[in-house]
Amino acid sequence: MSARATTRPGGRSARVQQSVHQAVRDLEAEVGRGALTVPLIAARAGVTPSTVYRRWGDLRELLSDVAVERLRPDAPPADHGGLRADLEAWTVQFAEEMSSAPGRTYIRDALLGDPGQGSAVRCSDYAAEQLKAIGVRAAGRGEAVPDLETLLDVVVAPLMYRILFRPSELSQAYVGRLVAAALGRAGSPSGT
Amino acid sequence: MSARATTRPGGRSARVQQSVHQAVRDLEAEVGRGALTVPLIAARAGVTPSTVYRRWGDLRELLSDVAVERLRPDAPPADHGGLRADLEAWTVQFAEEMSSAPGRTYIRDALLGDPGQGSAVRCSDYAAEQLKAIGVRAAGRGEAVPDLETLLDVVVAPLMYRILFRPSELSQAYVGRLVAAALGRAGSPSGT
C-alpha cells in the first residue's frame, strides 16, 4: 500500500475507504475472489472505477489493503495478571489467527499486493503494538520485560516463518517454548 | 509449485524445465517482468503454451518455480574451522542474498505463486540443508550443536521476518547476536 490510502477519519476519504472495503468483503462472499474486478467493486461501493484506481493502484493493492484491515487487532491484549501469562495467551491467539485458512490468505494478500511493503509493515506494527502494551503493563507491575525487537525476533518471527515457509502444527508446547526463550532474554541488547 | 514439476534428471521433462526456465530468465532481462506471458515464454523455449500450462499451472506458478531455483545454494557452506565462524559466515551471506533486491523479488515470487506452499517449503529446505551440513561438520569436531529447528527459529526466521515485514538494515552486529543466541541454545528441546 502506498501513502495514497492515508485517510482522515470521518472525511470523504474515510467514507470511500469504508464503502470500498465493505464492497470487497461482500462481493468476495457472494461471487468469490476469482470474480472480483475493480469495476464490479466500484459499482457496489457507489464510486467510479477511477476513484479506486487513483487511490489503490490496482485490484491487488486494494486486496492487500483490505487484508491488512482484517489483520488489525480489535481489542488490546487480555490481562492475565503476569507477563508470562499475558505473552502466552497473546501468542497462542496470534498463532491461531495467523495459521488459520483466512489468516494465511490475508497474510499472502498483504504481502502480494504490496511492492512498497507498506502493508507488510502495518501487519508487523499491529503485532508490535500489542506486544508493547503487554510490556508496558508488565513494567508497571515491576516485571523485567524483554525489549520489543527481541520479542519480534524470538516470538513473532518463528511463528510467521513457519506459517509461510514450513507449514506445520504450531503446538501449544512450541508456543510455550518461544515465550520461555523470550522471557530468558529480558534485558538483552536488540536492534538490527 | 505442485508435484507436476517433479523431474527425472536428463529426461525430456528435465530438458523442458531447463529451456522454459532459461526462457524466463532471458526474457525477463530483455523485455522486463511486466511483459512476460506464457505464450511468449513458450515460443522462446520451443514448447507449446499448453506444455507450460499443463506443467506449471499459470505464469505465477512458473515464476515461483524459477525463483526457487535461483534461491538454490550453489555450493556447500564454507568451512571456517569452527561452528561459530561457520554459522556467522553462512548467516551473513544468507542475509545479504535474501535482503538484496533480486533476493526479495525471488522470495516474493516463491511465496506468492504458490498456493500449495511447495516453493516456500523448498526455500526453507535449502537453508535447512546448509545448516545441517554446518552442524554435521561441527559435531564431527566434537562441538555441541543446536538442533536444526532451533537454528531455523533463532537465526533464519528473524532474518526472513525482517526482510518481509520490517525492512531494515540487517547489520553484522545483529547477525552476530542471532548466532550467539543460537549457540546459547545448543541442546534445547525443539519441534513445533
- A34-83 residue pLDDT tens: 899 999 999 999 999 999 999 999 998 999 999 999 999 989 999 999 99
pLDDT attached to residue B1: 41
- Looking at domain B3-57, which of 2.40.160.50, 3.40.50.2020, 1.10.10.60, 3.40.50.300 is its CATH number? 1.10.10.60
Residue B187 CA to residue B144 CA, distance in Å, equals 7
B166/chain A closest Cα distance in angstroms: 6
The highest-level CATH class for domain B75-183 is: mainly alpha
Confidence of residue A188 (pLDDT cuts 50, 70, 90): low
Per-residue model confidence as pLDDT tens for chain B (192 residues): 444 445 566 788 899 999 999 999 999 999 998 899 999 999 999 999 999 999 999 998 999 999 999 999 989 999 999 999 999 999 999 999 999 988 988 998 888 877 677 889 999 999 999 999 999 999 999 999 999 999 999 999 999 999 999 987 788 899 999 999 999 877 666 677
- Is B120 in contact with A164 (Cβ distance < 8 A)? yes
Only one residue has cell 476513484, namely A51
CB-CB contact of A192 with A153 (8 Å): no
Say yes or no for a CB contact (<8 Å) between A120 and B164: yes
State the number of CA atoms in the 13 A half-sphere of A100 facing the CB: 9
Per-residue model confidence (pLDDT) at position A12: 85
Q: What is the pLDDT of residues A89-145, one digit of tens each?
A: 999 999 999 999 889 889 988 888 776 778 899 999 999 999 999 999 999 999 999
Distance from CA of A114 to the nearest CA of B (A): 10
- In this structure, what C-alpha cell is assigned to residue A47? 464510486
B153: nearest CB among A121, A158, A188 = A158
- Nearest alpha carbon to residue A68 among A31, A10, A20, A118: A118
For B22, the enclosing helix (H) or strand (E) is helix B12-31
Output the nine-digit C-alpha cell for B139: 559435531
Q: Where do the structural domains in chain B lie, given as residue ranges? A: 3-57, 75-183
Query: pLDDT > 70: what percent of chain A?
Result: 92
The CA dihedral of B1, B2, B6, B11, to the nearest 10 degrees, is: -90
Residue B50 at interface with chain A, using a CB cutoff of 8 Å: no
State how far residue A176 is from chain B, nearest Cα, in angstroms: 10
Domain A73-183 has CATH 1.10.357.10: yes
The ipTM estimated for the assembled molecules is 0.87
